[in-house]
Structure 1
Amino acid sequence: MSNIFSENDLEILIATKDRCNFDFLLKMFPFKHFSNFNLLIVNQSKTEILLSEYNSVRVINSNESGLSKSRNIAIKNAIKNICLISDDDVVFYDNVIESVLGAFILYQEAAIITFNHIRVGKSYPEKKLYKKFEHNFKSIWDVSSIEIAFKVEEIRKNEICFDENFGLGSFFETAEEFLFLRNSLTQKIKMIYSPEIIVSHPLVSSGKDAGADNLIFARSALYYKVKGNFAYLWLLKYMLFLIANNYINKADFIKKYKKGLAGIYKYKELTNA
């Protein structure tokens, strides 16, 4: 693959649900009409059909559910050299195309490049690092899916996909991007962080309520997947962390701990671990 890219080499993969028109795209691209970009939209719905009259905007309607399933459908059906992952509630910066393609031209060895984003209402980006670095198993914990771009041929060649047990709409509603990147590093995929801000995202995030039952359930499953039986020790330490930082009350310790155990048991059940 050539390392000199044009605007036509980038495709934005958008996960959405229950859409019947493109009004949401107008908010995502406030600086130029969305038809000026190559978009692949996966619309998950059992009731709504989304149709496109634009050659640059392709739509796949799916009656399946789950964010990771949506991402995998998009990866399988992408047709451009470089793909950028997106949700349907972001707002792109007007330099998004130049920033993404410029990074892949600059860092020719990288198959995956992650970028930076800013939360709506904040004056500073999520990541405070303003220099490029090569990702490792520790740094990928801080990556959001909307920051990830990749060379699709490398992803397919190495059979890298999202774990469909994780992510919104699945059994464990967290960490799908971490597992995607972890799988990539395991496959020796070169992965770079580039500090450009390419997108903004609403302030409210499903991952911020650390003491919520669904998050404890999901994170416990994640740690069992990654660390095996060490997850039981981690869960105990995590409960103490939540209490110390006032995410949960001491009176809720047993209830929350059991919720974590339930997550581990559910993961073992799903995977026959």
Structure 2
Amino acid sequence: MSIQVLVATMNQKDHNLLNEMNIQSDAIIANQCERNEIEELIFKGNHIKYLSFAERGVGLNRNNALMRAHADICILADDDMVFHDGYVKMIKKCFIENPHTDVIIFNIIENPKKRYVIEKKFKVGYHNYMRFGAARIAFRRKSITKCGITFNLHFGGGAEFSAGEDTLFLHDCLKNKLNILAVPEAISTLPNYRESSWFQGYTDKYFIDRGALFASITKRNAWLLCLQFAIRHRKMFKEAKNWYEAYNLMIKGIKEIKG
């Protein structure tokens, strides 16, 4: 069983990222920058491919890596992650122990905690998949490619709508009846808190983009997802908007998707 890390990054000028991330497996570094170049090298016995393209959009960046991946198991990563020693063995162990699972989501250790922490193993379904981001998702490559699953180019940093490419990826996995499992094992750490490249506060655009995301998930019931989000999370954004203002902005996002 082979393992390959697919890293989305920007403006890399050398190969130092491999040491910084503690890469211990084959990897593809998808580097959006100001040049077009493909490099291949051996790093600590592992095959590394650097894809440097003069373009923008995290969905496009992840797709560039995904379409060139060759391993049995791929894991999505951001460039601020540091992988733990032995992560390859841990990932293999989890897939061997769960032979019918197509996608496994791991924990990331961070301080302060920003991401959802998996405390015990559970099956991921339509009721809980939106809590996970792309970094820490591992999958059987053929399960994804046979279903034609890719990242939506309209969502995520550098795209038209600022976030949500990871949510849509997992939604497409569920829609294609792939089995997704969340496990409490941590395979990486975020040693330094880095400000989000897309979150600029609870602005009008934040809610418009959220509505567009919900419409991409389900055009028929997008308004209901907007309503539940506005009411359930109203305390989170109460300093910026009341729930009704947030709801109306999300409806505007639905209309943008529907044209």
Q: Alignment length, in residue pairs?
A: 254
- TM-score when normalising by structure 2: 0.85
1:192-211 correspondence to structure 2 within 5 Å: 192-201=181-190, 202-204=192-194, 206=196, 211=202
CA distance in 2, matches of 1:205, 1:217: 21
Preserved CA contact (<8 Å) 1:20 1:49: no
Q: Where does 1:220-259 land on structure 2 (aligned, <5 Å)?
A: 220-232=211-223, 234-235=225-226, 238-239=229-230, 243-249=234-240, 254=245, 259=249
TM superposition shift of 1:228: 2.0
TM-score of the superposed pair, with normalisation by structure 1: 0.81
- Tell me whether 47-56 or 178-187 shows the greater mean CA deviation: 47-56
Select which of 249, 256, 259 maps to 1:266: 256
Give 1:112's aligned amino acid.
Answer: V
Q: Which residue of 2 aligns with 1:43?
A: 31
Q: Structure 2: which 5+ runs fail to align? A: none
Point out the structure with the larger helix share. 1
> Helix, strand or coil for the counterpart of 1:150?
strand
Partner SS state of residue 218, structure 1: helix
Separation in 1, partners of 2:91, 2:168: 22
Q: In the alignment, which residue of structure 1 is the partner of 2:159? A: 170
Q: d(CA) in 1 for partners of 2:124 and 2:232?
A: 27
Is the partner of 1:266 in helix, strand or coil?
A: helix
Return the alpha-carbon distance in structure 1 between the equivalents of residues 91 and 29 of structure 2.
19
1:147 counterpart = 2:136: yes
One-letter identity of the residue aligned with 2:91:
V
Give secondary structure in 2 for the equivalent of 1:163: coil
Label 1:208 to 1:78 Cα distance change in 2 as closer, same or farther (>3 A).
Answer: same
What CA distance in whole angstroms lies between the structure 1 residues aligned with 2:14 and 2:103? 31
Identify the match of residue 11 of structure 2 among 18, 30, 34: 18
Quick one: distance in 2 between partners of 1:61 and 1:104? 31
1:112 maps to what in 2?
A: 103
CA contact 1:43–1:50 (8 Å) conserved in 2: no
- The residue aligned with 2:117 is 127
Question: Is the CA contact (8 Å cut-off) linking 2:116 and 2:132 kept in structure 1?
Answer: no
Q: Secondary structure at the match of 1:77?
A: coil
Q: CA deviation at 1:46?
A: 2.4
Q: Distance in 2 between matches of 1:259 and 1:125?
A: 25
Overall identity of the aligned pairs, in %: 26
Q: Structure 1 unaligned runs (5+)?
A: none
| Counterpart pick for 2:81 among 86, 90, 96 | 90
1:103 deviation in Å? 0.5
In structure 2, the CA distance between the partners of 1:227 and 1:53, relative to structure 1 (3 Å rule), is: closer
Q: Which residue of 1 aligns with 2:170?
A: 181
Q: How far apart, in 1, do the equivalents of 2:96 and 2:68 lie?
A: 24
Question: Equivalent residue for 2:54?
Answer: 63
In structure 2, distance between residues paired with 1:181 and 1:251: 30
